[in-house]
Amino acid sequence: MLIRRPPAIPWSEVTPEAVYLDRRRLMGGAAALGLAALAPGGAAAAPLAAAPSRYSTEDPPTALDHITSYNNFYEFGMDKGDPKRNAGGLTTAPWSVRVDGLVGRPGVYSVDDAAPPERLEERVYRLRCVEGWSMVIPWIGVPLSTLLAAADPQPSARYVAFETLVRPEEMPGQRGLFQPLDWPYVEGLRLDEAMHPLTILAVGLYGETLPNQNGAPLRLVVPWKYGFKSIKSIVRVSLVAEQPPTTWNMQAPNEYGFYSNVNPAVSHPRWSQASERVVGGGLLAPRRETEMFNGYAEEVAGLYAGMDLGRHY
Amino acid sequence: MAAVGQGAVVARINDALRRLPVWPLYPLAFLPAASWLWMAAEGRLGADPVKALEHEYGLLALQFLVAALAVTPLRELTRVSLVRFRRWMGLMGFWYALMHFAVWLVLDRQLDWPRVVEDLTRRPYVVIGFVALALLVPLAATSWNGAVRRMGATAWRRLHRLAYPATALAAIHFVWLVKAWPPEPLAYAVAVAALLGYRAARGLRRPAGRAATGGRA
């Protein structure tokens, strides 16, 4: 099993709160002096403090350079190098996320409201793309359940719908003749999937705020599903009663299902999903056998008990 | 007057082309293959060098095949003749298709034979890519001057019409393997359709034309 379950962290290793706060104050001061001046719109990475998590994998993380230069983020272009080239101009501060639908406390959340800085955790997760490659990414974020609990879902809420920003003036992939997808990019989870402790809202990676090309300032990470389910640059979270439409499913329903759980036994209609190329291994790195639920079966298989996963792909 | 002027320009272009030697183009065309392999080995082809190599070789193969298919329409429409370079184009198309296949087999699929066989039988885009490559084999094998003499020009020309389905399949292979509808593979598909459509249209007109020009083959 690849999910590490280290013993609980002894209190002797926990940073005293005063020291921790002082460090954050120092970093905040540094940011105010230097970074903020350099980065209108908040594009520059700022350090983030985060607690380690027992959900992190022991697999070695992919190099930062690869994580930030090999992206599928069609709002910035279809080539994997496009997001890094084109996302620099995205304004990520101020940012607000609308939480609405079947909730007791609808409202507009800031990034800090949605992912409170004092509750940030580092989650080193495997990411498996539907195209057949994978990475290991040290995300920083909070369980999505934190936000959902704050919004107080009504009993009739059974699904969560997510929506990405539409801002053609800053997202070149949303302009021009060739637009491969309908905007906004939308995704969805069943409520129990959304509440699962592995499901996080990420605001950073590698100890810093998210680079724009990775979905700044706030994105979903669902490590047992193909990467496209982990929607980026979220502006809206809605609790709904019916299964919401999802972008890739609308684009090609026979190829991309609502669930899109990583499953080596269910092929994509055009290619096999049995194995994956690990990004960063160079020319001769061996392929990796893809694991059921991307290696998170122990935690999430129960969500799908009794379901035919060949039909609900 | 304009027609005469244009004719003079075309004559000058053709004259210049005639003086260009063909043989140095062969080693020249190998340079991209070598430099990409070198860059991939050095880690300068980005996060996924296997995919990058596979894509670059495949794309170059398609580009050479499309270029070879464009020679005849170009000559008939503008009188500019690249016929001397067509064998080079076709052979380089075959060479890069072979490299593309080799990268897929060795670096991507890593000689995992059961899965190679599965891909070659059950994944349509892989199948048609492989068929396109297979169709190019007899063309490459009969690309030397002696083959034309031995086969006879008519049979040789008929055999080399396999370039049409091979290029068409290569273009479909490209469209079929991507997600959504990106413009690049579609542009190649449109180009190949236009070049083959041109031949089809000409073929329909030809019976009348043949009588008028005394039945040239």
Residues of chain A that touch chain B, judged by Cβ-Cβ distance less than 8 Å: 62, 65-66, 69-70, 74, 78, 80-81, 130-131, 133, 177-178, 180-181, 248, 251-252, 270-272, 274-275, 277, 279-280, 282-284, 286-287
pLDDT over threshold 90, residue A68 = yes
pLDDT cut 70: percent of chain A above it: 86
Tell me which of A42 and A293 has the higher pLDDT. Answer: A293
Residue B93 CA to residue B139 CA, distance in Å, equals: 11
pLDDT digits (tens, 9 = 90+) for A182-241: 999 999 999 999 999 999 999 999 999 999 999 999 999 999 999 999 999 999 999 999
ipTM for the whole complex: 0.82
Calculate the CA dihedral of residues B28, B34, B39, B43 and round it to 10 degrees: 170
Residue B40 CA to residue B44 CA, distance in Å, equals: 6
CB contact under 8 A, A280 and B47: yes
Least CA distance to B36: which residue of chain A?
Answer: A283
CB contact under 8 A, A279 and B182: no
pTM for the model stands at: 0.84
β-pairing, A275-278 vs A133-143, is parallel
* pLDDT the model gives residue A8: 55
B47 φ/ψ angles, rounded to the nearest 5 degrees: -70, -30
* pLDDT the model gives residue A21: 47
pLDDT over threshold 50, residue A261 = yes
pLDDT over threshold 50, residue A113 = yes
* pLDDT the model gives residue A38: 43
Q: How confident is the model at residue A34 (pLDDT cuts 50, 70, 90)?
A: very low
Identify all chain B residues contacting A265, using CB atoms and an 8 Å cutoff: none
Tell me which of A207 and A36 has the higher pLDDT. Answer: A207
State the DSSP string of B132-198.
HHHHHHHHHHT-SHHHHHHH-HHHHHHHGGGHHHHHHHHHHHHHHHSSS--HHHHHHHHHHHHHHHH
pLDDT digits (tens, 9 = 90+) for A146-174: 999 999 999 999 999 999 999 999 999 99
pLDDT cut 70: percent of chain B above it: 93
Identify all chain B residues contacting A65, using CB atoms and an 8 Å cutoff: 47
Q: How confident is the model at residue B6 (pLDDT cuts 50, 70, 90)?
A: confident
Residue A111 CA to residue A95 CA, distance in Å, equals: 7
pLDDT over threshold 70, residue A36 = no
Nearest C-alpha neighbor of A137 from the set A119, A122, A121: A122
Region A75-90: what's the mean pLDDT?
Answer: 96
Residue A226 CA to residue A229 CA, distance in Å, equals: 6
A-B CB pairs within 8 A amount to 67
pLDDT digits (tens, 9 = 90+) for B178-205: 888 888 999 999 999 999 999 999 888 7
* pLDDT the model gives residue A13: 53
Residue A142 CA to residue A118 CA, distance in Å, equals: 10
pLDDT over threshold 90, residue A249 = yes
pLDDT digits (tens, 9 = 90+) for B121-169: 999 999 999 999 999 999 999 999 999 999 999 999 999 999 999 999 9
DSSP state of A261: B
**Which domains, from first to last, does chain A contain?**
11-249 (3.90.420.10)
pLDDT over threshold 90, residue A299 = yes
